Amino acid sequence: MENDKQKKAPEIDKNIREIIEQREREKEEKFVNLITEIIVAVTLKEYYEKSDKIPEI
């Protein structure tokens, strides 16, 4: 009975590590997407602010 538990323990640890790694990858991907959204938003805001100016005649 204890042998079964000992055999399953490394397998469970491996599954836990895989889940943790997957969550870390998801966090990194979300972070990169957030940074990208911020950069795009700031760039568009700056573009619109510059393009809204009416040139003087």
Whether 13 is in a domain gets the answer: yes
Q: How many structural domains compose the chain?
A: 1
Whether 4 is in a domain gets the answer: yes
Q: Residue 39's domain spans which residues?
A: 1-52
pLDDT of residue 14: 93
Report the alpha-carbon distance of residue 3 to residue 29 in Å, rounded: 40
pLDDT of residue 3: 58
Report the alpha-carbon distance of residue 54 to residue 23 in Å, rounded: 49
Report the alpha-carbon distance of residue 54 to residue 57 in Å, rounded: 9
Whether 57 is in a domain gets the answer: no
**Measuring CA to CA, how many Å separate 33 from each of 22, 29, 39?**
16, 6, 10
| pLDDT at position 16 over 50 | yes
Question: In terms of pTM, does the model score above 0.75?
Answer: no
Per the model's pLDDT, the better-predicted residue between 27 and 2 turns out to be 27
